[in-house]
Structure 1
Amino acid sequence: MPTPRHRYRSDDEDSARWTGFPFRDGDIVISTRSKSGTTWMQMICALLVLGTPDLPVPLTVLSPWLDWLVEPRDAVYDRLAAQPHRRFIKTHTPLDGVPLHPRVHYVVVARHPLDMAVSLYHQGANLDRERIAELTGQPASTGSSGERPAVREWLLNWVDREADPRAELDSLPGVLMHLGDAWARRHEPNVELVHYDDLLADLGGEMRRLADRWKLPSPGPELVAAATFGRMRERADRLAPDTLGVLRDRRAFFRRGGSGQGRDLLDEAARARYQERVAALAPPDLLTWLHR
């Protein structure tokens, strides 16, 4: 039986859409925070499952974001039901908000929170919020947003801001709550944690490890090359999560993909403040793994 779940809701997401979803044995649920490697892991899953870099349809059609409200739930269910291959489904919901079945696989990608936050800042300028409001039936914003602060100032505020982690999942408390829940489940046989920096350092090794865990064929060099950041950026029109026109620039979605940019923006005092904040939000062993 699935474990009890917490319901996560926002203007454009609702984890209750998982209720009643007809899982199949071997399904893969990709649970990540925003800008932490979601699309990267979707592509890795597509390559491992299909065995070819030539995807039959855009990636977001193959691997829909099930709890996103821009598309009717039944349409997403029907599309997944029609897939003859093993399915790999995207969510930004933590694992305590998704039905947990012993014959379903769950993978959580962790990225250094400061790097994730910098990517989130830049992503904010690339979203067409009027289009998202139109798709979700929300009223469009009428007030002036004013000038955005520079990225360093924004990042400092992000580190210091107190937030309810269950209401603001992309806050620092929300990021560490999501990862902390996954960390506590890391020894379960159907839960995999993947570190973003491990994908950068040894993409082929990580893909082979996941293939072994999921009983899929080991990828050859062609498949590993297709999952590199540069190759994915070249194919942004097919791989960016934007079949409904919510991004202003699909190539900008794959902005940089590196590691360390968040830490480089902070001076010694700000880095010490960050360490103080995270020490109060997550266990030491998780932080050691996350920040290595």
Structure 2
Amino acid sequence: MPDSLIRYRSDDEDSIRWRDFPLRPGDIVISTRSKSGTTWMQMICALLVLRTADLPAPLSVLSPWLDWLIEPAEQVYGRLAAQRHRRFIKTHTPLDGVPADPLVHYVVVARHPLDMAVSLHHQSGNLDRARLAELTGQTGPAEPGRRRLSIEEALVRWVDADPDPREQLDSLPGVLWHLRDAWARRDQPNVHLVHYDDLIADLAGQMRRLAELLGLDPPGPDLVEAATFDRMRSRADRLAPDPAGVLKDRQAFFRNGRSGQGSALLGAADRARYHARVAALAPSDLLTWLHRGR
């Protein structure tokens, strides 16, 4: 891995895998934070590239999470090397941890951080901790005996937490680290920022925009319909990112996809503290774009 790249590691991922992965001209790297539209963007890219709603394999096979330690690196590299279509690859690594190639496209999806945190809390409750511990070799009880925090309590704790963003990427500092880096690259012709709320408001328009940026044909109504949240939820067995069986309920992975829930769960004082925190973590123009007036 080039010295200029930052290495990101957790119990189940390691960005060092990008060091030995040979990129191809035209590759699409989908770089997002958890619960910020990763699977949605993978599906959109699959539809634009393959031109069919009947995918030839589960989405996680077509578009593997390259950094995920559960699957051996050589196996992931081999599957991607065998693909003859244009590749679209998932990562939760910020762009400063992925090799930059002017012939590769990088798509970063941003979501209001409070909405992302709400979805992350619900996702945490849908994980099979025993299975995850088995796969990652973790020791200790799979289900701690402490009381699970309410969504309101968890959200306040998430706003107040101040970990190293390179170690806890799904923290508030980690989210804004990821987006701040992408925002600084937004004028590069091969870096494309997409807002989650825009996908909700105008999916067809956003798919046409992305197709143009990627040099692909625009989608027909059938492909747009296949990318709707309800349609994806109805096909959760094929589309949920769960090749190792760590989800208790695949359909619950697609919970509701709405925006605005996070802000509504905080009181006025907690919302003010959130805005003070993010103002210290990201530039004002990024926050204006990210919050969309909410």
Aligned counterpart, 2:214: 214
Please give the TM-score of this superposition, normalised by the length of structure 2. 0.97
What SS does structure 1 have at the residue aligned with 2:148? coil
Question: Percent of counterpart pairs with the same letter?
Answer: 73
Q: Distance in 2 between matches of 1:142 and 1:77?
A: 31
Please give the TM-score of this superposition, normalised by the length of structure 1. 0.98
Q: Number of residues paired by the alignment?
A: 292
Q: Distance in 1 between matches of 2:279 and 2:19?
A: 34
Q: Distance in 2 between matches of 1:110 and 1:217?
A: 24
Opposite residue 263 of structure 2, the aligned amino acid is R
Is the CA contact (8 Å cut-off) linking 1:3 and 1:99 kept in structure 2? no
Shift in Å, 1:162: 1.3
Aligned 1:141-180 pairs, distance under 5 A: 141=141, 144-180=144-180
Is the CA contact (8 Å cut-off) linking 2:107 and 2:192 kept in structure 1? yes
Aligned counterpart, 2:288: 288
Aligned counterpart, 2:101: 101
What SS does structure 1 have at the residue aligned with 2:90? strand
Aligned 1:57-206 pairs, distance under 5 A: 57-141=57-141, 144-206=144-206
CA-atom RMSD in angstroms: 1.3
Q: Distance in 1 between matches of 2:279 and 2:126?
A: 32
Aligned 1:260-271 pairs, distance under 5 A: 260-271=260-271
Aligned counterpart, 2:246: 246
Q: Distance in 2 between matches of 1:24 and 1:66?
A: 15
Unaligned runs of 5+ in 2: none
Shift in Å, 1:141: 3.2
Aligned counterpart, 1:51: 51
Shift in Å, 1:2: 7.1
Shift in Å, 1:88: 0.3
**Cα distance change of structure 1 residues 140 and 43 upon mapping to structure 2, 3 Å threshold:** farther
Opposite residue 83 of structure 1, the aligned amino acid is Q
Is the CA contact (8 Å cut-off) linking 1:134 and 1:140 kept in structure 2? no
**Cα distance change of structure 1 residues 41 and 282 upon mapping to structure 2, 3 Å threshold:** same
Is the CA contact (8 Å cut-off) linking 2:130 and 2:142 kept in structure 1? no
Q: Alpha-carbon deviations, 1:240-292, whole Å to 9, x = none?
A: 00121010000000001010000110121111111111101100000000001
Q: Distance in 1 between matches of 2:3 and 2:207?
A: 29
Unaligned runs of 5+ in 1: none
Opposite residue 113 of structure 1, the aligned amino acid is P
Q: Distance in 1 between matches of 2:169 and 2:2?
A: 23
Q: Which runs of 4+ in 1 moved over 4 A?
A: none
